Amino acid sequence: MEGCGEDGQVKLLGVIRSPFVVRVRIALALKGIHYEFIEEDTPNNKSELLLQSNPVHKKIPVLIHNGKPVCESMIIVQYIEEAWDSKAPFLMPRDPYDRAIARFWAAFIDDKVIPSIVGAFRGQGEEQQKTVEESVANLPLLEEVLRSTGKAYFGGDGIGLVDIALGGLLVLIQTVEKVTNIVLIDTQKTPLLSAWADQSCKADKVKNAFPDRAELFVFLAAMRAKLTSPPPGN
């Protein structure tokens, strides 16, 4: 994508398969912001631009807007909303209280949901079962949040902050389910969340922000095989 125009010069440093990069790509797509995507070779060969732009954590994603870098996926998403606040759709509620609640659930996803997904992917046996149970305990809470809106999305009639926070993880979650043969989003226990997931992946404006499922499956299957292989000599 061309990264310079009425939106200013916009660059995104990242890796297509990263769920954190997907979050930013969803926000940019919704706002219709043109940007240059710069594929990074992480973690082995980080570019000088990445190291200069994020000297603290040295991680993706990094959004560079008119030469100024912004780091951390959900901070970037909120920056996009504020920097282009005149562009529809609005990614955050207008009401301060509703905005605070959206931030709370976005943080909940980072603090509770992501670790349980990682644990389910990396674990085996009882350890894996424990993290799956944690996922099963956390996701129904999001089911109730979605139910309380009475709408298709956490953001109401359209995709909002919480949708982006969880939506960035969707293809990862679904691929982890296939690679590990476990169920994280259960259509019986969380039917609204399951329907939300299907709808979110197919939304016209954002469907191209998601990584290729087949490629991600190959990548995660190879990683899973390494994690579950016995140490050399055993």
Rg (CA), the chain: 18
Which tokens belong to 87? Answer: 């562009």
pLDDT confidence tier of residue 42, bands split at 50, 70 and 90 = confident
- Residue 35 CA: distances (Å) to CA of 5, 50, 106, 114, 164: 9, 16, 24, 27, 18
pLDDT confidence tier of residue 4, bands split at 50, 70 and 90 = low
The strand ranges marked E within the chain are: 10-14, 36-39, 62-65, 68-71
CA–CA distance, 166 with 186 (Å, rounded to integer): 15
Q: What residues does CATH 1.20.1050.10 cover in the chain?
A: 96-225
Q: What is the pLDDT of residue 231?
A: 61
pTM over 0.75: yes
- At residue 234, does pLDDT exceed 90? no
- Helices and strands, counts by H and E, the chain: 10, 4
Q: Which residues pair with 215 in a beta bridge?
A: none
CA–CA distance, 162 with 100 (Å, rounded to integer): 11
Identify the CATH homologous superfamily for domain 10-84: Glutaredoxin (3.40.30.10)
Fold for domain 96-225? Glutathione S-transferase Yfyf (Class Pi); Chain A, domain 2 (1.20.1050)
φ, ψ of residue 112 to 5 degrees: the values are: -115, -45
The strand ranges marked E within 46-167 are: 62-65, 68-71
Of all residues in the chain, what percent carry a pLDDT higher than 90? 83
Residue 22 makes CB contacts below 8 A (sequence gap 6+) with 167, 168, 169, 171, 209, 210, 211
pLDDT confidence tier of residue 34, bands split at 50, 70 and 90 = very high
Least confident among 27-31, 73-77, 119-123: 119-123
The identity of residue 43, as a single letter, is: P
Q: What is the pLDDT of residue 8?
A: 87
Per residue in 121-165, pLDDT (tens digit) is: 988 888 778 777 877 789 999 999 999 999 999 999 999 999 999
Per residue in 159-186, pLDDT (tens digit) is: 999 999 999 999 999 999 999 999 999 9
